[in-house]
Structure 1
Amino acid sequence: MRIVVADCSVDYAGRLSAHLPRAKRVLMLKGDGSILVHSDGGSYKPLNWMSPPCSHETLELDDEVREAGIVEQWQVTHKKTADKLIVSLFEIIHDSSHDLGVDPGLIKDGVEAHLQELLAEQIDLLGDGHSLVRREYMTAIGPVDILARDASGASVAVEIKRRGGIDGVEQLTRYLELMNRDPKLSPVQGVFAAQEIKPQARTLAEDRGIRCLVLDYDAMRGMEDKNTLF
């Protein structure tokens, strides 16, 4: 992984356009080709990013660009969509590379992991006609718990928690933003599943078009029969 702290501006061009004006930011270039642009706020959510598969090149600077104070310019191009992320660096404050090795992945607590396993086996709890694609579907920022398809064949991403709070909804929102950039998956519907969903999390999820599924752990283990989908 390469980590660069720089005074920079960022432009995204493709199916949507976005501009980040000049400011100091952290740029993360990962071994899978992805790039994430972070500020000193917003928790772990990047301001902008490009997910793999993508290519990275350093552009030749013309006189006009140099006169604007730009010392280096990157172009990251998505190989499937041709979307481009252009990073213009005015000053590089820090630049380091680190070999992180093979990551073992997220190890969830026993109940959460078991809920994922049970829901994958009982995928019809999402609704009639749903089918499992895979568990732990990897995105550029981590794995979404379950990728499924509904009766019409549309993609469904499911994030599972024991207790569903706002953080979990935000996490699923980030996965959906990434997954909906993939034309092979888009449009992707989100389902936030938990044993208990806090009212604020439910309100946020519904506002973002994410369905909420309350899971009864005992019922899923065959001890009783209570599962409610809202």
Structure 2
Amino acid sequence: MRTVVATCSVDYTGRLDAHLPLATRLLMVKADGSVLVHSDGGSYKPLNWMSPPCKVAVSAPDADAGAAGVTQVWTVQSTKGDDRLVISIHEVLHDATFDLGVDPGLVKDGVEAHLQELLAEQIDLLGPGHRLVRREFPTAIGPVDIMARDAGGASVAVEIKRRGDIDGVEQLTRYLELLNRDPLLAPVRGVFAAQEIKPQARVLATDRGIRCVVLDYNAMRGLDDPGTRLF
């Protein structure tokens, strides 16, 4: 990755035209070919950018631009269309290149796969007497996160989300409609389990006879004991 802090102006042409007047900005040229123009505000979002694949050409300014104080011109051209980013640099304050190596990617904590694994191991969180049938129970429209049986032997289909919304309830409803056609499974009850369930989703689930269960991820991992809390 190359990072350049420079006093520059930026012109973008393509789907629309945009202009950034002269100011000090951070220019980033990544190994994947993307070029980003950042200010010292606006959080993570760049002021302008060019997504890969693109080509970067550095040239001397023409006579008029040179007279106006431009020392070099970066022309970033998309190789997939006519989009072009022209960065007119007046002064370079910092220029460094770093080899960041291969990025292992983001490892999320508390993703649905982790919740599924933990709930399968602690299936009694659904209620006393529940037992696990299997994870990723196959159906013709996709796997159900967990299939279980309750204390009375009835089938229970569990859909797991980090944040439960209406779409998750609709997904479980489709599974239940299909599963209840199987005489070996029917009747199948539904459980919508999530770390957080939105009020609209809870109302819809209750209306459809689906039970909602809120999962305490830290407690499931043994990092927090709800019994020791003061409130």
TM-score tier by shorter-chain length is: 0.5 to 0.7
AA aligned to 1:77 is: Q
Describe the SS at the equivalent of 2:61. coil
* Aligned equivalent of 1:20: 20
TM-score scaled by structure 2?
A: 0.53
Q: Which has the larger Rg? A: 2
AA aligned to 1:26 is: L
Indicate if the aligned counterparts of 1:195 and 1:217 stay in contact, CA closer than 8 A: no
Indicate if the aligned counterparts of 2:4 and 2:28 stay in contact, CA closer than 8 A: yes
Describe the SS at the equivalent of 1:101. coil
* Aligned equivalent of 1:53: 53
Segments of structure 1 that go 5 or more residues without pairing to the other structure are 126-160, 163-193, 197-211
* Aligned equivalent of 1:83: 83
Indicate if the aligned counterparts of 1:219 and 1:226 stay in contact, CA closer than 8 A: no
Query: Aligned pair in 2 of structure 1 residues 213, 45: CA closer, same or farther (>3 Å)?
Result: farther
* Aligned equivalent of 1:43: 43
1:203-218 matches, cutoff 5 A = 213=167
Query: Aligned pair in 2 of structure 1 residues 55, 220: CA closer, same or farther (>3 Å)?
Result: farther
AA aligned to 1:16 is: L
TM-score scaled by structure 1?
A: 0.53
Indicate if the aligned counterparts of 1:6 and 1:94 stay in contact, CA closer than 8 A: yes
Q: Does 1:224 align with 2:219?
A: no
Task: Give aligned-pair identity as a percent.
Answer: 52
1:22-171 matches, cutoff 5 A = 22-112=22-112, 162=162
Query: Aligned pair in 2 of structure 1 residues 74, 111: CA closer, same or farther (>3 Å)?
Result: same
What is the CA–CA distance in structure 1 between the aligned matches of 2:19 and 2:83, rounded to whole Å? 14
Q: Deviations over 1:141-193 (max 9, x none)?
A: xxxxxxxxxxxxxxxxxxxx94xxxxxxxxxxxxxxxxxxxxxxxxxxxxxxx
What is the CA–CA distance in structure 2 between the aligned matches of 1:40 and 1:34, rounded to whole Å? 19
Q: Deviations over 1:35-76 (max 9, x none)?
A: 011111111000000000100101232211100100111000
Indicate if the aligned counterparts of 1:11 and 1:86 stay in contact, CA closer than 8 A: yes
Which segments of structure 1 move beyond 3 Å, counting only runs of 4 or more? Answer: 112-115, 212-223, 225-229
Segments of structure 2 that go 5 or more residues without pairing to the other structure are 116-134, 143-160, 177-188, 194-200, 205-231
* Aligned equivalent of 1:195: 164
Indicate if the aligned counterparts of 2:3 and 2:95 stay in contact, CA closer than 8 A: yes
Q: What is the root-mean-square deviation in Å for CA atoms of aligned residues?
A: 3.8
